[in-house]
Amino acid sequence: MTPPPPDPPQPTAGAPAASASRLLRFSRAERWVHRSFALLMGVCLASAALLYLPGLSGLVGQRDIVRLVHVVCGFALPIPLLVGYAASRSFRADVRRLNRFGQVDREWLRPRNEARAALPVGKFNAGQKLNSAFTLGATLVMLATGAMLTFPDPFADNVRTGAVFTHDWLALAVAVVVVGHMYKALADEGARLGMRTGWVDVEWAEREHPGWLAQAEGGGDPGRHQPPAAATDQ
């Protein structure tokens, strides 16, 4: 796993060209963080299923190797986040956005909110913010309980029992959230395009994240417009 390249120089703030129809959503470093973390999480969940589900455990003969892969990938989970935070200004800016929860987010979460489409949603909606908060918190708890299970000697029996209970049930919750995240992503072609290339259509941004689009057009966001013919994976 190679570290992400440094972010390219940020564009100068200014009004976008009238013909522009693409907007930069994620830098190359941000996409590296997402893909690396997703790969490690996927390996952790797959190896856990092979180790603990009776219907799958018989498929592998070298359980020690599967366990080693699970442990190594588990301890490596925070690395993409830490490298991205240290190396990428755009990633740090997105972390700050994800940590802000305001009135628009509370309105977005209201059940059967017919006015949701008119809300000035920023770069991330409330669902994405809650997903990131849960994923980060779950990663830290899984890392702590996994360390107790990998190095059990310093801990009492009741502590290890609690760690096993927490680790197993939280893994199930993480799996459910990951499946939900993938389901939502598969249903949103614009979001997949943004994570795959870094660029999104302005029409998609106007529909899903109008507050973020307004910021970008006003020069308050590092996103920049670019005509489709010139859009590249930067």
Q: Residue 205 sits in a domain of what CATH number?
A: 1.20.950.20
* Domain annotation covers residue 14: no
A 10 A CB-CB count for 196 gives: 12
* Domain annotation covers residue 150: yes
Predicted pLDDT at 233:
39
Across the chain, where does the E strand assignment appear? 22-24, 199-201, 225-226
* Domain annotation covers residue 159: yes
* Domain annotation covers residue 170: yes
Instruction: Report which of 120, 87, 108, 93 is spatially closest to residue 209, judged by C-alpha positions.
Output: 120
Please give the residue range of the domain that contains residue 201.
Answer: 22-101+123-230
Taking the C-alpha atoms of residue 195 and residue 114, their distance in angstroms, rounded to an integer, is 28
pLDDT in tens, 151-206: 999 999 999 999 999 999 999 999 999 999 999 999 999 999 999 999 999 999 99
Q: In the predicted model, what is the mean pLDDT of the chain?
A: 86
Residue 208 predicted with pLDDT over 80: yes
Structure tokens at 203: 């029409």
* Domain annotation covers residue 3: no
* Domain annotation covers residue 95: yes
pLDDT in tens, 42-60: 999 999 999 988 878 777 7
Number of domains the chain contains: 1
Helix axes 78-87, 126-150, angle to 10 degrees: 120
Predicted pLDDT at 228:
47
pLDDT in tens, 120-142: 999 999 999 999 999 999 999 99
* Domain annotation covers residue 109: no
Predicted structure pTM score: 0.82
pLDDT in tens, 10-49: 443 333 322 368 999 999 999 999 999 999 999 999 999 9
Structure tokens at 78: 């925070």
* Domain annotation covers residue 168: yes
